[in-house]
Chain A
Amino acid sequence: MNELLLIVLGVLATAIQVIILVILSIISGWFLAYASIKSKIFENIYIIFIEIFESVPVITFFPVVLIIFITRIGGPLGTQLATDFLVFTAVVWNIWMGEYQAFKTVPNEMVEVTQNSGFGLFSKLRYLYIPFSIPRIAANLFPSVSDGFFYITVSEVFTVGIHSYQTFGVGSVLDTFVADANLHAIYLTLLVLGIVIVGVVLILREFSRYAVSKYTLDTDVPILKRGRSNIKETTRIFAAISKNPLSRLSRYYKYRENERHEEKYEKREKKKKYYRYVYGAVAILLLILILYESVLLALSVKIDEWHILFNRTGYLLYSLGYDYLRVLIILLVSMLIAIFLGYYLAVHKRAEFFGIPIIQTLSAYPAPIYFPFLFILTEPYIIGVFGGFTNELYVLFLGFVSTFYYVLYAFWMGVKAMPSEYWEITKNLKLGFFKKMRKVILPSTFPYLISGISSTINSAWGGLMIGEYWPDIYGTHSLEIHTGLMKTIDLATANGNIALAAWGSLIFGIIVAIYSVAFTRRMMDVAQKKYVAEEGVYSS
């Protein structure tokens, strides 16, 4: 096949898959969000589910997912579905959470207007909930599409033990060119991918502008977090009491009408209750299914293997400590850059005009695609300076380029959203840069920063997962660090030790979920209570 055509098809296949999966997550998210505002049981299960999976990098459990799809479905379809599942889980959480939050914060007055007009489920979704969720979807689209490109290019070529799995896309096309050492085709692929990503970024920017200008609230309707319905279930009261038989007779017809009306009302109420139970039952069923699959997976591991896994748990936690240290370094460097660059971009319009699209394009360009070429070009010089620390530095760099945009964006948006009065106060008091940063800007952007830090940490794991053990990154040269949980999982996957990979992923998932609940949520609570007005928290 013509080389250019193959490249274009590969890039388009990747881009279209990402877009389809994003659309799928948007549509599914609407119904799930609606179910969760209608049923408390559904909401509780759904939110816990999102919060756990949002904080666990999807790539860590990809080997297990891949094996499940290969064994259950098999063949190219199984591999394709596994890839799609991975990408879906990479893009979906942000969007689902955004839609859920949008649905939860629809002003009660607007809901009352739809109730007043007697709207059913689809009319409410069409005229109120879906339009209301558009700005939040637009806000979440960019990171979701970036994550989608990141993970799809990684998952298009995947090795588990002696088996290699491939799906058609830019990742697999590039892999073929690398194997043939076809430099011209490699550069051409990077260029075509770059053009498509620029196109996607421009479309997303336009869409965001359109969404914000058309769908954000213009009214003074208060945006308050709407709890579940306060409507108390009351018992039906209808008793036609009249002592006078004539009066009773004369009012007979009216009561008959009322009875019919009441019957209709009762039927509708029963239907509403029925839907609530259905939503709850679906959520419980999904939970049981997940637990059932987990138990089946656990039972498939032999007792001896469990002993080995338990014995290695200490080492896995020790390795995780190393990885947390790496994440901390990546985070500190990202924050340092974000605070200076984010501030500069927010206060310099011209720099912002050119800088933001460039940064957006760079962030959407999947790091695993260009990283090997960067590695080939720079490694001889870097090794001369950093010696044995070179590989560690590259892994930190890969983690950094995979993630630093999140905290940068968050901080930039926070500075942009600062009330003009705050700027006037800093001018009035003639505060210097550092004092202004410490006393005004950092506290007022705190919720944005926490949100950005949380995303940066979550995404850093993806970079580490890819970088800590990258066999044959070029030729027979491998990128490998000494100790790290991600490396252990990578190695276990490469050796076909799925039990160890799954165990490592599980331990990692538990620790990350605990961290998320103990740190991120607490920080968000502090931010909400102390640092900013309610609407600022929602918009962040």
Chain B
Amino acid sequence: MEAKLKNESVNRVILEAEHIDFSYDNGYKVFENINLEADTGKFIAIIGPSGIGKSTLLRILGGFLKPDSGKIKLMGKQLYEPTPEVALIHQSIVTFPWMTAEENVMLSMKTKDMSHDEMAEKAKVSLSRVGLEGFEDLYPKEMSGGMRQRVAIARAFAADPHVFLMDEPFAHLDELTAEGLRQDIYNILFSGETPLKSVIMVSHNLTEVLELADEIYILNNMPASIIGRVAVTMQRPRNPRSDEFNSNLDMLYGYLTPPRNKR
């Protein structure tokens, strides 16, 4: 299914960043001339040292922050503000504690022209897609961290997004839960059952990045710019113990030397 999807729409750019410059309110320049493309069927990863601005870049890509200059385009149209077509999944697990799992998922459909029953039905489908069938009436407090993150992902799915922006989505989970969720998410992402076309993930976990990504953008320097773009050609499923995997890992480590200050 995955291969089919990729072959159908090779090289069609879904989300792109063109010449992005961005500074904080205090004048500190974070990015200089960032260019990025997310093609159909591609899992893109952005890596870089801590504090380089990976999460900020993700928010610019989602329209949550406006760049000083440059454009973000979603399927050719300029993106000016957040839209349900580009769903952001946070590093912190964001569920609304006063809502059940189903209500949490229904939240992303509230602005759509749907009846309550339609929303509930779709929420159930989304929850079952992330393995939470039968847990619809549970409150987040009654769930584990992994389950809550699945609820957040189901909520994002329910909005029928074209792009997923994932900000270190497995960082708050233990390694075993994260591993299971990673595989599940990857399988769902490109199953073809959803309108999802591309994923952009930020992570500092290089093993995770190599396991999932088709393409890796490397951020470094101050202000940050893309210093490398690596296509990951390893066959799936990828074995983190293989020599090929480790040589790729070494290559990524090579890029991530401490940032060099231009100023």
Contact across chains for B80 and A265 when beta carbons are under 8 A apart: yes
Q: B83 touching A118 by the CB < 8 A rule?
A: yes
- Chain A positions within 8 Å of B87 at CB level: 116
Interface residues of B in 22-81 (CB under 8 A from A): 23-25, 59, 62, 64-71, 76-78, 80-81
CB pair A238 B78 closer than 8 Å: yes
Q: Is B242 an interface residue (CB 8 A)?
A: no
B97 touching A219, Cβ below 8 Å: yes
| Binding-face segment, A226-234, A336-344, A386-394 | A226-234
Taking the complex as formed, is B222 at the interface, i.e. its CB lies under 8 A from any CB of chain A? no
Tell me the minimal C-beta distance from B111 to chain A in angstroms. 5
Q: How many residues of A contact B (CB 8 A)?
A: 40
Query: What's the least CB distance linking A133 to chain B, in Å?
Result: 11
B157 to chain A, nearest CB (A): 13
Question: Interface readout for A243-287 with B: 1 if CB under 8 Å, 0 if not?
Answer: 000000000001001100110010010000000000000000000
Q: Is the CB of B140 within 8 A of A110?
A: no
A238 and B80 alpha carbons, distance in the complex (Å): 11
CB-based contact A258/B81 at 8 Å = no
B146 within 8 A of A: no
Are B97 and A117 closer than 8 Å at their CB atoms? no
By size class, the interface of chain B is 35 or more
* Cβ–Cβ contact A234 & B66, under 8 A: yes
Check B69 against A237 for contact (C-beta < 8 Å): yes
Within 8 Å of chain A (Cβ to Cβ): is B203? no
Interface-lining segment among B88-96, B121-129, B213-221: B88-96
Given contacts A117-B111, A127-B107, contact A261 B78 (CB under 8 A): yes
- Chain A 80-121 interface 0/1 with B at a Cβ cutoff of 8 Å (1 = within): 000000000000000000000000000101101101111110
Chain A nearest Cβ from B247, distance in angstroms: 35
Interface string of A499-529 (1 = CB under 8 A from B): 0000000000000000000000000000000
Closest to B95 in A: A219
B110 surroundings in chain A (CB, below 8 A): 117, 119, 123, 127
Q: Is the CB of A219 within 8 A of B66?
A: no
Is B14 an interface residue, CB under 8 A from the partner? Answer: no
Q: Indicate if the CB atoms of B111 and A107 lie closer than 8 Å.
A: no
Give the number of A-B contacts (CB < 8 Å). Answer: 115
Complex: how many Å from CA A219 to CA B145?
Answer: 8
* Pick from A116, A221, A232, A262: contact of B88, CB under 8 Å: A116
B27 CB → nearest A CB, Å: 10
B82 contacts chain A at the CB level, 8 A cutoff? yes
A115 and B84 CA atoms in complex are apart in Å by 9
Q: How far is the CA of A268 from the CA of B87 in the complex (A)?
A: 21
Give the interface SS of chain B, mostly helix, strand, loop or mixed: loop
Is A539 in the interface zone, CB < 8 Å from B? Answer: no
* B225 proximal to A (CB < 8 A): no
Given known contacts A131-B98, A214-B98, is B107 in contact with A261 (CB within 8 Å)?
A: no
Q: Would A220 and B82 be within 8 Å (CB), given that A113-B94, A215-B97, A258-B77 are in contact?
A: no
- Is B77 within 8 A of A257, CB to CB? yes
Complex Cα distance A261/B23, Å?
A: 25
Q: For residue A110, which residue of chain B has the nearest CB?
A: B94
Which of A127, A219, A231, A265 is B94 in contact with, Cβ under 8 Å?
A219
Chain B residues positioned under 8 Å from A237 (CB to CB): 69-71
Which of chain B's residues have a CB closer than 8 A to the CB of A216?
A: 97
Tell me the residues in window 102-143 of chain B with beta carbons closer than 8 Å to chain A beta carbons.
107-108, 110-111, 139-141
Q: A222 contacts the other chain (Cβ, under 8 Å)?
A: yes
- Contact (Cβ within 8 A) B92 A222: yes
B45 to nearest A CB, angstroms? Answer: 21
CB-based contact A221/B93 at 8 Å: yes
Q: Considering the chains assembled together, what is the distance between the CA atoms of A116 and B155 in angstroms?
A: 11
Query: Which residues of A are found within 8 Å of B189, using beta-carbon distances?
Result: none
Cα A285 to Cα B84 in complex, Å, equals 38
Q: Are B64 and A112 in contact, with the CB atoms below 8 A? A: yes
Q: Is B172 an interface residue (CB 8 A)?
A: yes
Closest to B141 in A: A218
- Cα separation A233 to B68 with both chains bound (whole Å): 8
Please tell me if the beta carbons of B82 and A112 are within 8 angstroms of each other in the complex: yes
Q: Which residues of B contact A332 (CB under 8 A)?
A: none
Once A109-B92, A215-B97, A232-B68 are accepted as A-B contacts, the answer to whether A115 and B82 lie under 8 Å apart by CB is yes
Chain A residues lying within 8 Å of B81, measured Cβ to Cβ, are 115, 265, 268
In the assembled complex, the Cα of A134 lies from the Cα of B81 at a distance in Å of 29
Q: Which residues does chain B contribute within 8 Å of A230, judged by CB atoms?
A: 24-25, 65
Q: Does A128 make an interface contact (CB < 8 A)?
A: yes
Distance in angstroms from A533 CB to nearest chain B CB is 17
Q: Tell me whether B252 is interfacial, beta carbon within 8 Å.
A: no
In Å, the complex CA distance between A181 and B87 comes to 72
Contact between A118 and B111, CB atoms less than 8 A apart = yes
Cα-based distance from A167 to B111 in the complex (angstroms): 48
CB pair A131 B90 closer than 8 Å: no
Measured CB to CB, the closest approach of chain B to A56, in angstroms, equals 35
Contact with A along B150-194 (1 / 0, CB 8 A): 000001000100000000000010000000000000000000000
Q: How far is the CB of A430 from chain B (nearest CB, A)?
A: 37
Our pick among B82, B96, B111 for the contact of A131 (Cβ within 8 Å) is B96
Query: Bound complex: CA of A222 vs CA of B94, how far in Å?
Result: 10
- Cα distance, A118 to B64, chains bound together (Å): 12
Tell me if B197 is interfacial: C-beta within 8 Å of chain A: no
Is A16 close to B, CB under 8 A? no
A107-B94, A219-B148, A238-B78 are contacts. A117–B68 as well, Cβ < 8 Å? Answer: no
Report the separation of the CA atoms of residues A138 and B114 in the bound assembly, to the nearest whole angstrom: 34
- Bound state CA distance, A380 and B108, in angstroms? 70
State the A residues within 8 Å of B (CB). Answer: 107, 109-110, 112-113, 115-120, 123, 127-128, 131, 134, 213-222, 230-234, 237-238, 254, 257-258, 261-262, 265, 268
Closest 9 CB pairs of A and B: A265-B80, A115-B82, A221-B92, A218-B141, A218-B97, A131-B98, A109-B90, A109-B94, A118-B111
Q: List 8 A-B contacts (CB under 8 A).
A: A113-B96, A113-B108, A116-B83, A117-B107, A118-B83, A119-B111, A127-B110, A218-B97
Mark B residues whose CB is within 8 Å of A. 23-25, 59, 62, 64-71, 76-78, 80-84, 86-88, 90, 92-98, 107-108, 110-111, 139-141, 145, 148, 155, 159, 172
